[in-house]
Amino acid sequence: MSLPLTKDMLAAAYTYLCEIEPCSEWNLPPAEEVKFSIIRKTDRYAHYQLRGGKHHIAVSSRFVGRHETLLATMLHEMIHLHIEHNGISDTHEHGPVFQKLADKACRIHEFDRLIF
């Protein structure tokens, strides 16, 4: 059975990840300051955007249907949020700064770095 995603579930996953490394070191905004949405895109697991000064994380119910996939996907988007929120410059959306943070996150949480 596929995990029935809700906005509250996304916010809870975000809050949980904010409490543990590496996110606990990143000075991320609380979930109440992030807009979460469910999308049905078939070309991505999720995406992060800063629109009108508000952080947005959207997760695709087409690809994210398991707890571990939700946590890995949310963490990936939280890296993007961290880079944007803290004004860190990178050469590309998945540039060297993102890659270094992703390596650390996957090492800590034992996520598959090849699909992260």
pLDDT at 26 exceeding the cut of 70: yes
As a whole number of angstroms, the distance between CA 33 and CA 46 comes to 18
The mean pLDDT of the chain is 95
Q: Are 70 and 9 in contact (CB under 8 A)?
A: yes
In the chain, where the domains are located: 7-109
> What is the pLDDT confidence band of residue 84, given thresholds at 50, 70 and 90?
very high
Q: Are 93 and 80 in contact (CB under 8 A)?
A: yes
Half-sphere exposure of 113 (CA within 13 A, CB side): 11
Percent of the chain scoring above 90 in pLDDT? 90
Task: Count Cβ atoms below 10 Å from residue 48 Cβ, excluding itself.
Answer: 19
As a whole number of angstroms, the distance between CA 98 and CA 32 comes to 24
Q: What class does CATH assign to 7-109?
A: alpha beta
Task: Give the model's pLDDT for residue 1.
Answer: 55
- The pLDDT tens digits for 32-62 are 999 999 999 889 999 999 999 999 999 999 9
pTM above 0.85, yes or no: yes
Grouping H, G, I as helix, E, B as strand and the rest as coil, residue 35 is strand
